[in-house]
């Protein structure tokens, strides 16, 4: 079925393979961190406009987000998206040994998942779909969004709250494989959970009130010999340590969950006898349910109040993300998995094997015939993969791991696709350093097979949806059943976002001198 159309879109991707690879290299080398992806988003906008998409920049008030649409008559609206944020502290060159990208510190950002290849894979898929729609005059609409700050679960809750996903008929969410057994498959019943992220800001606004004798005045407000007020740094330390100490009491024995904290730089380095005026501590809470996220935040609020009182400070909360857990759609997921079976898993050839063995050699390991993890070239049935994951979860836990594609699940039938990314064989329980995976995601010979496979799978899935109206009808019926009537149905979870885009915070970033791009440590 659809043999000539599939042949055409497959050949389109093959013909444009070199271009897709070059695009990925460009985004990968930019490696812009969350909320600071200015050049990356600009690059996508330029390509989409060149391909006749109508593009809206800074969508939902986010400077590095966008939305784009292309129409060919009246028909269903199909969507996917790009991510392009990189991770601080993961700077690695596209070479088989450990070294940061030229001119940068190892503490600069780099692509880990890699989101660079994620975005180019979906871009290739949607452009191939457009090409086959034009060639065979297939009616429909394509919708493509640029989603910054996924590592902070940033943009999708905001896009969702602003209605960007409300009029989509079906969505494909793609991600490079990151954990077994979800490799070359789709998620079935177990989708990602809820996540809350927020910043606690401590401020020492009245240090003079700390003095034990309010009538005692120094010639200057804080002399070098005087007792000084505690400040924002002390508040942050108390918050950090008390929350770690209470972690076991927040959600004991309630399934898999995690809470990570990051200290944001305040730029107040000094040797003077002055209290720090401001500090910021960010938390990311990943849990199966919204209720659990609320419980953790309640504990953090109490800790922040106590820390502020003890250190002569005040505190405020600033939301980064409130993200819902995901729900399945078996109809769309089954179709996407069928397309993956038709395309076949990615394969790595002799040139990729040589690079993999060079990495092994540089790690002091021997050369082997098959240096890549065997699962990255194998397809696994979604139900089988779910069953394996289910074995390690409490029976009551419905959601597991973290990603904000879950926002789209509440607005349109959504499939979550995984394609194998390059990973080295793990014989003898070898633990590879982080730079290995980061390098493999940037070397064309090792990352390209994943990009091309994902692009073809996405394009073929869209083609099948466009050519088979019954699939969409059944998928929407399932969506309504799971939400109790669709958007605004009795079982539907509305967007949780009640905050402005948080791009104004002190997020890690590059800075530019006259001749160089450097990293702010």
The C-alpha atoms of residue 341 and residue 349 are separated, in whole angstroms, by 20
CA distance 459 to 450: 14
Please enumerate in sequence order all residues whose Cβ is within 8 A of that of 190, keeping only pairs 6 or more positions apart, or say none.
386, 389, 390, 393, 398, 399, 400
Q: Which of 290, 427, 440 is CA-nearest to residue 365?
A: 427
Q: Is the pLDDT of residue 195 over 60?
A: yes
In the block, residue with structure tokens 């969702």: 160
Angle at 383 between CA 377 and CA 385, to 5 degrees: 45
| Length in residues, the chain | 521
The pLDDT of residue 273 is 74
Burial class (CB in 10 A: 0-12, 13-18, 19+), 42: middle
pLDDT band at 287 (very low <50, low <70, confident <90, very high): very high
Distance of alpha carbon 18 from alpha carbon 2, whole angstroms? 26
Helix ranges restricted to H, 147-231 = 155-161
Of 449, 382, 377, which is closest to residue 416 (Cα–Cα)? 382
Is residue 264 a contact partner of residue 178, using CB atoms and an 8 Å limit? no
pLDDT above 80 for 272: no
Which band of pLDDT confidence, cut at 50, 70 and 90, is reported for residue 214?
low
Instruction: Identify whether 17 is preceded by a cis peptide bond (ω within 30 of 0).
Output: no
The pLDDT assigned to 222 comes to 53
The per-type count for the chain, helices as H runs and strands as E runs, is 14, 13
Q: What is the pLDDT of residue 1?
A: 67
Among 41-50, 210-219, 262-271, 430-439, the range scoring the smallest mean pLDDT is: 210-219
pLDDT band at 250 (very low <50, low <70, confident <90, very high): confident
Query: Among residues 41, 287, 48, 264, which one has the least CA distance to residue 149?
Result: 41
Kindly state the average pLDDT of the residues 259-267.
Answer: 83
The residues, ordered by sequence, that sit 6+ positions from 506 with a Cβ below 8 Å of its Cβ are: 264, 265, 266, 267, 280
pLDDT band for position 521 (50/70/90)?
Answer: low
C-alpha torsion sign, points 172, 174, 180, 185: positive
Which DSSP string do the residues of 317-328 spell out, in sequence order? EEEEEEEPPP--
Report the b/e string of 155-168 with b at 16+ CB within 10 A: bbbbbbbbebbeeb
Examine the pLDDT at 211 and tell me if it is beyond 80: no
Question: Under DSSP, is residue 18 helix (H, G, I), strand (E, B) or coil?
Answer: helix
* Predicted local distance difference test score (pLDDT) of residue 212: 61
What one-character DSSP code corresponds to residue 265? P
The pLDDT-based confidence of 501 (bands split at 50, 70, 90) is: very high
| Across 49-63, 83-97, 420-434, least confident range | 420-434
Q: Return d(Cα 24, Cα 441) in angstroms, integer.
A: 10
The percentage of residues in the chain with a pLDDT greater than 90, rounded to a whole number, is 83
Instruction: Quick: pLDDT tens for 334-360.
Output: 999 999 999 999 999 999 999 999 999
Vertex 197 angle, CA 289 and 249, to 5°:
60
**For residues 342 and 1, what is the distance between their CA atoms, to the nearest angstrom?**
11
Mean pLDDT of 276-281: 92
**Domains observed in the chain:** 3-192+325-511 (3.40.630.10), 195-323 (3.30.70.360)
Region 196-204: what's the mean pLDDT? 96
Q: What is the mean pLDDT of residues 17-41?
A: 97
| Burial of 392: CB neighbours in 10 Å, binned 0-12, 13-18, 19+ | exposed
Residue 231: Cβ-neighbour burial (10 angstroms; 0-12, 13-18, 19+): buried
Report the pLDDT averaged over residues 501-516: 88
| Per-residue pLDDT reduced to its tens digit, 155-169 | 999 999 999 999 999
Lowest mean pLDDT among 34-43, 129-138, 380-389, 500-509: 500-509
Cis peptide bond prior to 101, omega within 30° of 0: no
Does residue 395 or residue 228 have the better pLDDT?
Answer: 395
pLDDT at 223: 58
**516 falls in which pLDDT band (50, 70, 90)?**
confident
pLDDT-based confidence at residue 454 (cuts at 50, 70, 90): very high
Mean confidence (pLDDT) of the chain: 93
Segment 366-373 shows an average pLDDT of 94
Q: Name 216's Cβ contacts closer than 8 Å, sequence gap at least 6.
A: none
């Amino acid at each position: 079925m659809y043999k000539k159309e599939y042949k055409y879109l497959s050949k389109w991707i093959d013909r444009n393979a070199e271009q897709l690879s070059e695009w990925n290299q460009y985004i990968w080398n930019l490696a812009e961190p969350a909320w600071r992806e200015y050049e990356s988003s600009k690059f996508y906008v330029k390509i989409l406009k060149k391909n006749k998409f109508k593009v809206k920049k800074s969508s939902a008030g986010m400077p590095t987000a966008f939305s784009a649409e292309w129409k060919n008559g009246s028909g269903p609206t199909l969507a996917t998206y790009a991510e392009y944020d990189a991770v601080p502290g993961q700077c690695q060159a596209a070479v088989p040994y450990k070294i940061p990208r030229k001119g940068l510190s190892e503490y600069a950002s780099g692509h880990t998942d890699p989101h660079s290849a994620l975005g180019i894979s979906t871009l290739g898929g949607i452009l191939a779909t457009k090409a086959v729609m034009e060639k065979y005059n297939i009616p429909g609409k394509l919708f493509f969004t640029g989603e910054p700050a996924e590592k902070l679960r940033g943009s999708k809750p905001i896009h969702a709250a602003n209605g960007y996903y409300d009029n989509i008929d079906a969505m494909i969410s793609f991600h490079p494989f990151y954990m077994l057994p979800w490799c070359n498959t789709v998620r079935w019943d177990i989708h990602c959970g809820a996540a809350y992220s927020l910043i606690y800001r401590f401020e020492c606004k009245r240090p003079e009130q700390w003095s034990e004798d309010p009538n005692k005045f120094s010639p200057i407000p804080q002399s070098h010999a005087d007792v000084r007020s505690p400040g924002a740094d002390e508040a942050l330390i108390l918050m950090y340590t008390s929350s770690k100490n209470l972690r076991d009491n927040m959600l004991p024995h309630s399934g898999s969950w995690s809470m990570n904290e990051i200290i944001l730089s305040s730029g107040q380095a000094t040797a003077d006898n002055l209290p720090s005026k401001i500090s910021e501590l960010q938390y990311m809470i990943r849990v199966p349910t919204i209720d659990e996220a609320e419980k953790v935040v309640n504990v953090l609020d109490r800790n922040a109040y106590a820390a502020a009182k003890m250190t002569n400070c005040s505190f405020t909360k600033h939301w980064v993300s409130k993200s819902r857990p995901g729900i399945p759609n078996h109809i769309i997921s089954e179709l996407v998995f069928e397309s993956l079976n038709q395309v076949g898993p990615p394969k790595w050839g002799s040139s990729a094997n040589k690079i993999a063995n060079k990495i092994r050699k540089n790690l002091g390991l021997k050369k082997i015939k098959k240096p890549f993890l065997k699962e990255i070239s194998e397809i696994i049935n979604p139900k089988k993969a779910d069953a394996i994951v289910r074995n390690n979860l409490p029976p009551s836990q419905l959601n597991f791991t973290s990603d904000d594609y879950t926002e789209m699940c509440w607005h349109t039938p959504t499939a979550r696709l995984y394609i194998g990314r390059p990973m080295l064989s793990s014989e003898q329980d070898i633990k590879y350093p982080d730079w290995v995976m980061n390098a493999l995601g940037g070397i064309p010979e090792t990352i390209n097979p994943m990009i091309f496979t994902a692009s073809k799978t996405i394009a073929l899935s869209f083609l099948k949806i466009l050519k088979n109206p019954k699939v969409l009808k059944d998928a929407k019926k399932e969506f309504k059943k799971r939400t109790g009537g669709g958007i605004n149905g009795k079982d539907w979870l509305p967007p949780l976002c009640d905050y402005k885009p948080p791009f104004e915070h002190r997020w890690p970033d590059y800075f530019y001198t006259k001749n160089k791009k450097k990293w702010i440590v």
